[in-house]
Amino acid sequence: MIESTLVSVDVIVLRFDPDARAVLVGVASRAQEPFAGELALPGVLLARGERLRDATTRAVTGKLGLAEESVTATGQLTTFDEPSRDPRGPTLSIALWATVTRPTGDLAVWRRLDDVPALAFDHDRIVADCRPLLADKLWRDVPFTAGLLGPEFTTAQALDVTESLTGERPYPANLGRTMDRVPGLERTSQHASALPKGGRPPLVWRFSAGVAPA
Amino acid sequence: MIESTLVSVDVIVLRFDPDARAVLVGVASRAQEPFAGELALPGVLLARGERLRDATTRAVTGKLGLAEESVTATGQLTTFDEPSRDPRGPTLSIALWATVTRPTGDLAVWRRLDDVPALAFDHDRIVADCRPLLADKLWRDVPFTAGLLGPEFTTAQALDVTESLTGERPYPANLGRTMDRVPGLERTSQHASALPKGGRPPLVWRFSAGVAPA
DNA sequence: TAAATAGTGTCTCTGAGACACTATACA
DNA sequence: TGTATAGTGTCTCAGAGACACTATTTA
């Protein structure tokens, strides 16, 4: 019988912060060696028979201190198999994404996706390699998009999220046409509450019931 | 210490057969229980510290009986985590692709990608879920494309491969423009040898040295 | 010359990008 | 009325798709 590899699950936890007008990544200070005290992506060892989705939730709740209900969507990215990535020995790392709602009283350090600090293990590489994959999901992967933006949002917020993920801010008219083609997303005629600094109140976009997160 | 999950690697082995004018998948009859005698994708358990690339080669050589040199390119697809997928107990399955050259004296059963027979485990599902991912790689993932078609090929062969993977046969002129934009692929002015049934001899496309498989 | 195959020129349609212009709020 | 924000109409350009037409071989 072959001795099997350990499998860890490392999660890129994303959240849109309307005040910061940016997508944030949740990382946490490591409690134990190796890399104690350094920032790292939340990760756990996959238990025998455990689903990836469950391990993702376990990492987000256990390492970032978020409530289970705040996880709005999850999914796979890629697998990293460099044997020396963990000094304790060879482990496979399955990279996953999770979108979460604004947390209350969590342990996480939230940093802008375009300004992620140095992380432990090979987590810098995981973030770098997975960023294009995440950017590609926006407006194409409906659960990802709905999980990130929530059931209702304005065009300006959609612009902010797009800029955070792709690095480029599209023209509003063009983004509007992109959104018109997203299944389950509809342009409402409802106006959002007025802005603090004046200006025309924005219209609201809404994901229909089957698609929107709880 | 958490008891860790077993990780298996299941490979979708692809090869272009110019005579059949189609992309073929290599499967093999299982030698042992469970599912002894049934066809299955070549797969192995990932050893501790083993790279995915090495496990892929091991599966292709061990289960299909191909030479190591016939593997021209490999890559990741997705991970399947359904706990009941293997009756022996919960295992994670990492699906990978490999492209190979025409084998000599192998154990494999080669079937057209559009006519894959019923397979053991959840391999039907793996093939079904991964087909769109494979189709998406053609002309976009250069190692995949070069591995499948080899260093030199004709437009007609490119049409056959495209039809096998996507289900639709493009117009030659349009496919030519797609290929013009593939980095490392060049349209030569060299004619292939004349055809058995008459007709204009086709031009040859060539992958440049750094890109083409050995 | 007919049949079979290969290759090209070009029209159309769609979607991304760019930008000027219009609309609606607060001070 | 000025400033700040939001939203729209439309031009342009690139790429996908479609197709008619031309080219080169064998029988």
Partner residue opposite A5 with nearest CB, options B2, B49, B89: B49
Query: pLDDT by residue for chain A (214 residues), tens digit each?
Result: 556 789 999 999 999 999 999 999 999 999 998 999 999 999 999 999 999 999 999 999 999 999 999 999 999 999 999 999 999 999 999 999 999 999 988 899 999 999 999 999 999 999 999 999 999 999 999 999 999 999 999 999 999 999 999 999 999 999 999 999 999 999 998 888 766 677 899 999 999 877 766 5
Do B3 and A48 make contact, defined as CB atoms within 8 angstroms? yes
The answer to whether B3 contacts chain A (CB < 8 Å) is yes
Q: Which two tokens stand for residue A137?
A: 């999901």
Architecture of the structural domain at B6-137: Alpha-Beta Complex (3.90)
Q: Are strands A91-100 and A6-17 parallel, antiparallel or unpaired?
A: parallel
Angle between helices B155-166 and B123-137 (to 10 degrees): 140
pLDDT in tens, B42-99: 999 999 999 999 999 999 999 999 999 999 999 999 999 999 999 999 999 999 999 9
Query: A78 CB near a chain B CB, below 8 Å?
Result: yes
Asked whether residue B156, judged by its CB, lies under 7 Å from any atom of the DNA or RNA strand C, the reply is: yes
Q: Which CATH number fits domain B145-207: 3.10.20.30, 3.40.50.720, 1.10.10.10, 3.40.50.2000?
A: 1.10.10.10
Residues of A in contact with B6 (CB under 8 A): 4, 48
Task: Give per-10-residue mean pLDDT for chain B (214 aa).
Answer: 80 96 97 95 96 98 96 98 94 97 92 97 98 97 97 96 96 96 93 78 90 64
Parse chain B into domains and list their residue ranges: 6-137, 145-207
